[in-house]
Amino acid sequence: MAVKYEFLTLQQIEHFLRYGWVSIPECFTREQAEEWTKDLWTRLGYDRNDPSTWVLEKINMPTLNTVDVRDLAPKAWKAICELSGGEDRVAEISRHWGDNFIVNFGSEKLNGRIVGPRELDNWHVDGDNFIHFLDSPNQGLLVIPCITDVLENGGATYICPDGIAVVAKHLLDNPEGVTPYMARKGEEKQFHEFQWFCEQIKNSDKCNLFQQMTGKCGDVVLMHPLMMHSASRNALHIPRVITNPFVSLKEPFNFNRSDPSDYSLIEKKTLKDLGVDSLPNWKIEGERETLNPGRVAIHERMKEMELRRLAGENIGPVGDSGVEVHREIVKGLVWEKPEPSMTAQNV
């Protein structure tokens, strides 16, 4: 059945097929954003009006509560469904957006200092809890709701649109699957932190287009799942707040549909960047496995501390960051199945 587009404009469709991302403006109001984040500063133990209390440059908070995107941002939901090929292809869990806010404070040291994209060391694609294949349904789209204004050089997420082809080709050439850091099975220890991605970013033969995902409060940016992206350095020292709800699909991407009009825009973009119309002979050659990312345990510890602050305990400011601690997690990444209670569907 051909995919129908009733919400996305032709201009937005063409933009996604060219660059791999589209911004949907005014999906929710500033008042909704304020309500959503009303406990943020208490959870952190920081004083909103006193930058000297902002201990960390950037922090990835755990999830305490979720909202239904269909209520909070129905325009974003419509766009998500159309990019994915229809609401019937999107897993129900994708409707739930958590308050796992990502806050980029910057610092006095960085104030006014512009750091270019090739200097950043946080390049990656999302999905740290599963083995990646070209058709993996676990991460169907990348989503960035702008919960504050996101200003240029103010901590906006950097993306590399021409890197989609680089990641897609790597996955195409490795049908047995790779780790979230693009390592083949048995080669995990040869990759540290975000090495593979940073090497691609620094290669001017592969990656030359870099964009900052700026926007106004209420805008929602939707990106191709293979979009390499990185946290940037906040040169303005004005707190930038986003989150990164994931979109999962009910079934793997299909790159060999009998009716080409049935391809989703995400599938079309993948095929376009690979330079083919279809992949009739491609199939995965490994098992679809989940991983046990250490961030789950770290976020459980952070959640406990946040709940104590919300209950009125004076236990000081947060000292764990989803960036700094994540570097230690990556070094110890192993290819093993987690306990059932630790999978993404249960956290």
**H helical segments located in the chain:** 10-19, 30-36, 40-44, 69-72, 74-84, 163-172, 195-201, 265-274, 295-310, 324-331
Across all residues in the chain, what is the average pLDDT? 91
Convert the pLDDT of each residue in 275-305 to its tens digit.
999 999 999 999 999 998 888 899 999 999 9
* Amino acid in position 40: L
Alpha-carbon dihedral angle through residues 282, 135, 167, 244, given to the nearest 10 degrees: 180
d(CA 128, CA 294): 10
Convert the pLDDT of each residue in 163-201 to its tens digit.
999 999 999 999 999 999 999 988 887 777 799 999 999
**Confidence at residue 168, expressed as pLDDT on a 0 to 100 scale:** 98
Asked if pLDDT for residue 333 goes beyond 90, the answer is no
**Confidence at residue 320, expressed as pLDDT on a 0 to 100 scale:** 52
Q: What is the pTM (predicted TM-score) of this model?
A: 0.91
In this structure, whether the domain defined by 10-346 belongs to CATH 3.40.50.1240 is answered with no
Burial (CB count <10 Å: 0-12, 13-18, 19+), residue 13: middle
Please, which residues have CB within 8 angstroms of residue 214's CB and are 6 or more apart in sequence? 150, 151, 152, 156
Work out the pLDDT band at 343, boundaries 50, 70, 90.
very low
Domain limits of the chain? 10-346
% of the chain at pLDDT higher than 70: 91
d(CA 66, CA 83): 23
Greater pLDDT, 89 or 324: 89
Q: For residues 250-262, give the mean pLDDT.
A: 97
DSSP letters, 195-243, are: HHHHHHHT-TTT----EEE-B-TT-EEEE-TT-EEE---BSS---EEE-
d(CA 262, CA 1): 6
Please, which residues have CB within 8 angstroms of residue 54's CB and are 6 or more apart in sequence? 46, 105, 107, 239
- Residue 160: alpha-carbon gap to chain centroid: 13
Convert the pLDDT of each residue in 117-144 to its tens digit.
999 999 999 999 999 999 999 999 999 9
Q: For residues 325-340, give the mean pLDDT.
A: 38
- Residue 85: alpha-carbon gap to chain centroid: 20
N residues, the chain? 347
**Confidence at residue 322, expressed as pLDDT on a 0 to 100 scale:** 45
d(CA 186, CA 333): 11
Work out the pLDDT band at 18, boundaries 50, 70, 90.
very high
* Amino acid in position 311: A
